[in-house]
Amino acid sequence: MTDDFTFSNLSPNVVLNNIEALGFRCDGRLFELNSFENRVFQVGIEDEPPLIAKFYRPGRWTDEQILEEHSFTLQLEEEEIPAIAPLTINHRSLFEQDHYRFALYTRQGGYPPELENEEQLESIGRTIGRIHAFGSTQLYRHRETVDIKTTSINSRQLILDHFVPKAYKANYEAISDELLLQLQAAQPAIAALPHLRLHGDCHLGNILWQAPKPFFLDFDDSFNGPQIADIWLLFSKSDDSEFNQRQLNRLLNGYELFYSFDDAQLAYTEIFRAFRILNYTAWIGKRWQDPAFPKAFQWFNSDSFWRDHLRDLQLQNERMQQKGFIV
């Protein structure tokens, strides 16, 4: 449950010294950016644009897994697909010093995409279609392949064993049991879908719009899986189903210019939504020993959160039952 190593020793001096060890001259300006899984900084460089430095959470990924993701994004960059790839210095993209592994990136400007802007949605669709088309040329060897059943069981058990307040434990166990039945029922069909290298966390917060195109950021969670595992996150922010359908249509209009999509995969949207709900809660639990998490997620131990969480799980269970995944 706990992290084997924390970021407690990652002081500003350590960050700046590590960057300067690669030959850059830092000007002393250092801003920590919004990231919890890793630590990400904007670093001022003398007479040059600032750099973005990502320090990886120790113990989460192997070197091989990080380098596979780097290789994917560097190849996308070579194909002129707007995905942010790490800098390479002397043919290396992953560096290690003071027990921390890190990568450097150029700073990409831009703004959050506008859901109401159909041209932007179609452009986003074209770009993710290109990413998927290239991602389908081979699979990761070291990174994970999505496993709805096993991951959900582990996530649910972690929360049940360590975090659910006693007053809500019986309800959580009963509702999550029903969810797990449906996730397990869907696993064989999901495993049978064509798999490819995905972005892995393809929500709008990981896209910057810089006219005339979007830039896809943060492939840190990239894995092997079916297309729907990325696509559903791009059209599910609103509760307005008609609005979501219009978004989806425009997105797929652009997407299918570069890569085909079987609409039958849309049936698994609610499965991946349930999967994300369970895993997001477990992710907070896994990182609770990191001091940044209790500060950022103070509501995690509150009664109101667990009441709302149980309600959300119940609603998601009902949505899934309507899709008929129980065998």
Q: Which are the catalytic amino acids?
A: 201, 218
Chain segment 71-103, per-residue pLDDT in tens = 999 999 999 999 999 999 999 999 999 889 999
- What is the residue whose two structure tokens read 């002393």? 28
Is 106 strand, coil or helix?
Answer: strand
Contacts 24+ apart (CB under 8 A), 216-220: 216/82, 216/83, 216/84, 216/127, 216/128, 216/131, 217/84, 217/108, 218/84, 219/69, 219/72, 219/73, 219/83, 220/37, 220/38, 220/54, 220/69
What is the pLDDT at residue 2? 46
Chain segment 244-300, per-residue pLDDT in tens = 888 899 999 999 999 999 999 999 999 999 999 999 999 999 999 999 999 999 999
Q: Which domains does the chain have, with CATH numbers?
A: 12-106 (3.30.200.70), 118-323 (1.10.510.10)
Q: Is-above-0.85 flag for pTM?
A: yes
- Mean per-residue pLDDT, 36-58: 96
- Mean per-residue pLDDT, 131-157: 97
